[in-house]
């Protein structure tokens, strides 16, 4: 079957992946309402396009965190990529570099961050979980900086791990031979199978710091020269606080629907968050983006760029590096077409007037 869109890649990946790995990648918290809403909210929005705008010459480039990107689409951080393909994060990094865009590398990577940054000429941003053991966190930050990562993306929406019931039923654990390659301290590299429930949930509950607050943003900024972005913002007041506390950017994210179920869909949270930021720092958004038209809608509602997670994993599972490359290429082609048909020559010409709320939309 020809794989011509991201939904095709998802279907093909589901046929190839081990069921436990597939459920880990695909699942959301509890009833998976937010998981479904993240994309459904895009479908409720309508594009009110412009015509006769002279769109023959288009440029999709964007600038973020000091990097010139070929398009306003980056790879979101996703854990345990070697469950999808033996090359895992290395393949994703190479594909992102070839596409001229950035990769956010998860703390919970199955390839060491130094190997990932060495595999690509493109920008790598390190997604950071803050551990109870602060020396471990300091070591991760120092290694990311030394390895050439160009930003830290700190996850702030996971003081506790959401209940992903598919993982509970599967007794989720890392397959034999895989480890958390960014962790060096005893007891942190391995994620043994739990006797009951999710092994990842047990790992997170015992090791990640649930007491993070706004003072920790200042602490993180004090231990690195890298830009510090906060990932997991959906409330406009938190967006204002992020700016006040010196964040270099935010990612509007509900963790792919994997934390608090019935949380607001990210594209519905985006306009108020962007308004609160008021252009002072970059705003990215993730969750549910599957079409180039989704990217246009996100840009119209205030995002500077979008991040995609699961589609990258589907491409990786199907064809390794080539699959990730093709997923990014499909999104780029669809975005280019959508921009032209909306009367825009590039992301900078996308305005709020292009989007109107559809049935059931809060906009």
Instruction: Dig out the tokens for 123 from the structure.
Output: 């920008």
CB 122 within 8 A of CB 93: yes
Q: Identify which of 331, 281, 289 has the alpha carbon closest to the alpha carbon of residue 307.
A: 289
Distance from CA of residue 341 to its chain's centroid? 27
Active site residue 255: yes
Listed residue (363, 341, 173, 340) closest to 274, CA to CA: 363
Q: Classify residue 206 as exposed, middle or buried by CB count within 10 Å of its CB (0-12, 13-18, 19+).
A: exposed
**DSSP for 142-155, written as a single string:** HHHHHHT--EEEEE
Helices (H), 197-353: 199-207, 214-222, 236-244, 266-277, 292-300, 310-341
Residue 86 carries which DSSP code? T
Among residues 70, 77, 86, the alpha carbon closest in space to that of 126 is found at 77
* Nearest of 261, 312, 256 to residue 285 by alpha carbon: 256
Cα distances (angstroms) measured from residue 325 to each of 9, 12, 94, 311, 332: 12, 16, 9, 11, 10
Q: Residue 197: in which H helix or E strand, if any?
A: none
Catalytic residue among 85, 173, 235, 255: 255
List the one residue out of 320, 272, 291 whose CA is nearest residue 73: 291
> Of 242, 343, 238, 338, whose CA–CA distance to 298 is shortest?
338
| E strands present in the chain | 45-47, 62-64, 67-69, 73-75, 103-105, 124-128, 151-155, 228-233, 249-252, 283-286, 305-308, 355-357
Catalytic residue numbers? 255
């Amino acid at each position: 079957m020809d794989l011509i869109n991201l939904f095709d890649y998802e279907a093909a990946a589901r046929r190839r992946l081990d069921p436990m790995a597939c459920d880990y990648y695909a699942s959301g918290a509890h009833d998976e309402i937010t998981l479904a809403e993240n994309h459904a909210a895009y479908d409720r929005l309508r594009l009110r396009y412009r015509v006769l705008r002279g769109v023959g010459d288009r440029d999709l480039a964007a600038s973020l965190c000091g990097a010139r990107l070929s398009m306003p689409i980056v790879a979101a951080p996703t854990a345990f990529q070697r469950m999808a393909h033996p090359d895992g994060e290395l393949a994703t990094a190479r594909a992102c570099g070839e596409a001229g865009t950035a990769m956010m590398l998860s703390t919970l990577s199955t390839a060491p961050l130094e190997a990932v940054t060495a595999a690509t000429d493109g920008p790598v941003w390190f997604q950071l979980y803050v551990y109870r053991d602060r020396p471990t966190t300091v070591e991760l930050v120092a290694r990311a900086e030394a390895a050439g990562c160009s930003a830290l993306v700190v996850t702030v929406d996971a003081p506790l791990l959401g209940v992903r019931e598919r993982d509970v039923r599967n007794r989720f654990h890392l397959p034999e031979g895989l480890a958390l390659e960014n962790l060096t301290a005893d007891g942190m590299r391995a994620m043994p199978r739990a006797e009951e429930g999710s092994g990842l949930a047990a790992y997170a509950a015992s090791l990640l710091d649930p007491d993070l607050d706004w003072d920790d943003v200042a602490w993180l900024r004090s231990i690195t020269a890298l830009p510090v972005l906060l990932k997991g913002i959906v409330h406009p007041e938190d967006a204002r606080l992020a700016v006040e506390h010196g964040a270099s950017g935010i990612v509007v994210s509900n963790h792919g629907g994997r934390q608090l179920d019935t949380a607001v869909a990210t594209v519905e949270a985006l306009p108020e968050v962007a308004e609160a930021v008021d252009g002072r720092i970059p705003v990215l958004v993730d969750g549910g983006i599957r079409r180039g038209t989704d990217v246009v809608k996100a840009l119209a509602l205030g995002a500077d760029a979008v991040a995609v997670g699961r589609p990258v994993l589907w491409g990786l599972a199907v064809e390794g590096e080539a699959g990730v490359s093709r997923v990014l290429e499909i999104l780029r082609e669809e975005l280019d077409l959508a921009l032209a048909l909306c009367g825009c020559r590039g992301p900078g010409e996308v305005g709020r007037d292009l989007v109107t709320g559809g049935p059931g939309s809060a906009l």
